[in-house]
Amino acid sequence: MARIGANLEELRATNQKQHEGLSRESREAIAQLSIDGQFLDHVREIIRFLKTA
């Protein structure tokens, strides 16, 4: 029983660590999408400027 309890705690810790990793990766991906979107907005502005010039 003690071994099963220890395994359960180990699995819980691993699960928590993996969830935190996924959460961090998601936040980083969202931040990157935001940066990419801002870059594309700037490119569009430059293209509009060049078209009107």
Mean pLDDT of 8-14: 98
HSE at residue 1, side-chain half, CA atoms within 13 A, is: 0
For the chain, the 3-state helix, strand and coil shares in percent, each to the nearest 5, are: 95, 0, 5
Kindly report the pTM of this predicted structure.
0.67
Q: Residue 53 — pLDDT band, cuts 50, 70, 90? A: confident
Q: Round to whole Å and give the CA distance between 45 and 35.
A: 15
HSE at residue 53, side-chain half, CA atoms within 13 A, is: 6
Percent of the chain with pLDDT over 90: 98
